[in-house]
Amino acid sequence: QVKLVESGGGVVQPGRSLRLSCAASGFSFSSFGMHWVRQTPDKGLEWVAIISYDGRNIYYGNSMKGRFTISRDNSKNTLFLQMHGLRAEDRAVYYCAKSIHPFSGPSGMDVWGQGTTVTVS
Amino acid sequence: QSALAQPASVSGSRGQSITISCTGTSSDVGDYNSVSWYQLRPGTVPKLIIYDVTQRPSGVSDRFSGSKSGNMASLTISGLQAEDEADYYCSSYTANRGVFGTGTRLTVL
């Protein structure tokens, strides 16, 4: 069964850091690009970042650049999102999601985790 | 990257068809064939219903179809059912960075 499980969310003070993790199982993790997406009641879905299957290509949403770092450990089937300088507007449910096509560039996201909530207060 | 423009809400009666538009630019929707659509029901995670403009993942009803013309993509749902009531988001890419639409709430009357 293809599964993604996020962890690491919580309540953090403005300006502090937080590291999210996403444990993958049931598929060849090292073959697929991975995304972080966040959801808020006000803005809906907002794309955060993408990392290619091999970790060599990384892109960020404009409001995250310089503060967030996406990374992956293919030996442990785990995706990470390191967040620094957190702001009130970063409060959201953060999802990790799997690209639908292996070894490819931008594509749709066919598997999503259950999400982890980040509150900045 | 600016959010793709979607109507805030659409509605239709059971059995009818509706279309949701997703308007971008020549740098995103017009430039990529990686347009996707996601369904969000309350309390559930986003579900991919269309990818690569027109493709349906396994298990998604053929009542859902996608298309694109120029800088605008569209999602059509035919034979509306009560279970289709949800929020729908389109997504594309610009310079390899993802961008979502503003979201559309579908009400089934």
* Residue-wise DSSP of A45-67: EEEEEEE-TTS--EEE-TTTTTT
Interface of B with A in 80-99 (CB under 8 A): 87, 89, 91, 93, 95-99
Sites in chain A below the pLDDT cut of 70: none
Contact B73, B92 (CB under 8 A): yes
pLDDT at residue A78, rounded to an integer: 98
Q: Does B52 touch chain A (CB under 8 A)?
A: yes
Cα separation, B35 vs A117, in Å, equals 27
Query: Residue A11's CB: how many other CB atoms inside 10 A?
Result: 12
Which residues face A92 on adjacent strands?
A118
Interface of A with B in 50-89 (CB under 8 A): 50, 57, 59-62
pLDDT at residue A69, rounded to an integer: 97
Q: First-to-last CA distance in chain A?
A: 36
Cα separation, B39 vs B85, in Å, equals 9
Q: Does B103 touch chain A (CB under 8 A)?
A: yes
pLDDT at residue B50, rounded to an integer: 98
Cα separation, B71 vs A105, in Å, equals 20
Query: Residue B15's CB: how many other CB atoms inside 10 A?
Result: 10
Residue type present at position B38: Y
Please give the structure tokens belonging to residue B65: 């179809």
Q: Which of B2, B34, B37, B53 is the best residue to mutate to test the A interface, defined by the most A CB atoms within 10 Å of its own CB?
A: B34
Query: Residue A62's CB: how many other CB atoms inside 10 A?
Result: 9
Residue type present at position A4: L
Subunit contact B97:A37, Cβ cutoff 8 A = no
Query: From A37, which residue of chain B is nearest by alpha-carbon distance?
Result: B98
At A88, is the secondary structure helix, strand, or coil?
Answer: helix
- pLDDT per residue as tens, chain B (109 positions): 689 999 999 999 999 999 999 999 988 999 888 999 999 998 899 999 999 999 999 999 999 999 999 999 999 999 999 999 999 999 999 888 999 999 999 999 9
At B59, is the secondary structure helix, strand, or coil?
Answer: coil
